[in-house]
Amino acid sequence: MIFAADLEKYTMILLDPINTPGLHLRRQFEDAGIRVRHLLETNLSFAALEMVRAGLGIYITDPVVLLSGLGEGLVVRPMTPSLPVTLVAIYARHRPVPRPAVRFMAHLRLAIRQSCETLRSIDCEASAV
């Protein structure tokens, strides 16, 4: 288990604060009194993972990003405190949801649940509405 305070001495790769995860992570660090001394920013998770692969720093991500397989070959450890991640589907209120979208959302729910079982060691929880 990695504690947020343990990360102060490392170069951190963060999503820019325009992205919700980047903003939440910065707030969590600030609330805990953690100063990020060395920072690299990107607006794309896959770019952050490539920066990690190149040895440029540590990236904190949600387990959903790891579903892509882009994290293969990288060391993944749980962090505390953890940040909740909410995925949402947005559709028109007064139109039926297209069948392919309904099937996609069902597939995504299943994939997240299965991945959370696989990633249980990194504190993944899934709940779908």
Domain assignment present for residue 117? The answer is yes
Strand-pair partners of 79: 2
- Its pTM stands at 0.71
CATH number at residue 36: 3.40.190
- Cβ–Cβ under 8 Å, residues 125 and 115: no
Q: What are phi and psi of 98, to 5 degrees?
A: -60, 145
Domain hosting 33: range is 2-122
Mean of pLDDT values over 94-117: 86
With b meaning 16 or more CB within 10 Å and e meaning fewer, what string describes 85-100? beeeeeeeeeeeeeee
Q: What is the pLDDT of residues 10-51, one digit of tens each?
A: 999 998 888 777 888 888 888 888 888 888 999 998 899 999
Domain assignment present for residue 36? The answer is yes
Label residue 118 by pLDDT band (50, 70, 90).
low
Domain assignment present for residue 81? The answer is yes
Distances (CA, A) of 64 to 8, 19, 47, 91, 119: 25, 15, 15, 21, 10
Question: Total domain count for the chain?
Answer: 1
